[in-house]
Amino acid sequence: MEMASQDIPLDKSYPSKLRSDEEVTLVARVAGFLEERKFEPGDMVEKGDSLYSIEPDLYQATVAQRQADLESAKAELARAQSDAQRYEQLLNQNSVSRQQYDQALADRNVARASVAQAEAALRSARLDLGYADVTAPVSGQIGLSEVNVGNLVNSGTELATITPLDPLEVRFQMPQADASALRRQLNDQPDSEIGASLELNSGISTLQGQLDFLGSRVSEGTGTVQAEASFANPDGAALPGQFARISLEGLKRFDVLAVPEIAVTQGLMGPQVFVLDEDDVARAQTVQLGELAGPWQILLDGVQPGDRVVVGDPAGLQPGTPIDPQSFDGDAEALMAGQDQSGGSGQATEAGGQPSSNEEGSAPAEEGAE
């Protein structure tokens, strides 16, 4: 294989915990006796559905009282305005004192304030009446009721929890190096192009989604960056609080040198590959390994573009062995599968063609083919 920079797709997965960001706990916002529960635990409820009733007649009566107070205040304001107008005319005729006129204006202002106060009290009473009918703020599955019908509840008493199941949000931690590489990749493409799959029940079922968020800071405690993906979950196959593994799809390393994993062996100086010189003789070359991306091993150092690397099974190959090079088609997965089927025997190859062998299925030993 002639080394050349290429884009290598990654196969990355991370442990994660499922959550529902829109989960809400219903609480009573008014005090009173719980008169009615309008659902069964475990029901799917829709946003706006009526769930509990807390003494609505009491709060309806309060609204009526506040409405009457407002009407009385408005009547008083009308009388005070009429008096102020009359006193203004009498003042112009010098029939009343300035003090009497000022008192009439003050009474009118007090009456206006009383109307505003009554209007505010009516709005508050109507709000309480609305709170007496507890409705669902989101759609989802409702849990067990925390309070039985007939009990007295106070403002702030927890009633039940509603958990939306579709979609589900998954938060997970990415190693700093992965997050930094992904951030560079996202500079050239939207995060919506980074797909995600969620493995449930030991791989029995999966959900498909996409990356929604990548954090902007590294946790001091773990050295990781928080990320989040969302998944459609129409059948409720996954539940919040469940642990699962998330795999990101569309991750790549750009402009890297890589060889099929089988080409890397362990030498005296560490990981190595066999490189052919201009006479097609194999030479061991120590390399620095990067990430493993499926069947590909990314190399950080030790080889240069244009180097010819033996990517067949190097078992038994020694430095100085002459090689009859055969071209590699670039399909690392097929190469790895072929090695597994043949029990480890392989071929030396070079970029630009198909792997081949002699008629007996193996290269002549004297030519050093691997």
Domain with CATH 2.40.50.100 in the chain: 24-54+135-164
Residue 192's pLDDT is 61
| pLDDT of 145 over the 90 cut | yes
CB 354 within 8 A of CB 318: no
Over range 268-286, report the average pLDDT. 91
pLDDT grade, residue 105 (50/70/90)?
very high
Domain 15-20+165-250 belongs in CATH node 2.40.30.170: yes
| pLDDT of 342 over the 80 cut | no
Over range 79-83, report the average pLDDT. 94
CATH number, span 254-367 = 2.40.420.20
Residue 10's pLDDT is 82
The string of pLDDT tens digits covering residues 246-271 is 988 878 888 889 999 889 998 888 99
Domain with CATH 1.10.287.470 in the chain: 56-131
Over range 79-100, report the average pLDDT. 90
| pLDDT of 337 over the 90 cut | no
Length of the chain: 370
The string of pLDDT tens digits covering residues 154-208 is 999 999 999 998 888 888 999 888 888 888 888 876 666 788 888 876 656 788 8
From residue 165, how far is each of 50, 215, 251 by CA, in Å?
20, 24, 27
The 10 Å CB-count burial string (b at 16+, else e) for 152-177 is ebeeebebbbbbbbebbbbbbbbeee
Residue 346's pLDDT is 44
| pLDDT of 112 over the 90 cut | yes
Residue 359's pLDDT is 34
pLDDT grade, residue 323 (50/70/90)?
confident
Query: Which residues contact residue 284 at a Cβ distance below 8 angstroms, ignoring those fewer than 6 apart?
Result: 267, 272, 273, 274, 275, 319
Class of domain 56-131: mainly alpha
Q: Please give the share of the chain, as a percent, with pLDDT higher than 90.
A: 48
Over range 269-297, report the average pLDDT. 90
| pLDDT of 367 over the 60 cut | no
Over range 298-307, report the average pLDDT. 92
Mean pLDDT in the chain? Answer: 85
Q: What is the largest CA-CA distance in the chain?
A: 135
**270 vs 293, which has greater pLDDT?**
270
For domain 24-54+135-164, give its CATH number from 3.40.50.1820, 2.40.50.100, 3.90.1150.10, 3.40.50.970. Answer: 2.40.50.100
Over range 279-296, report the average pLDDT. 89
d(CA 181, CA 291): 12
CB 168 within 8 A of CB 20: yes
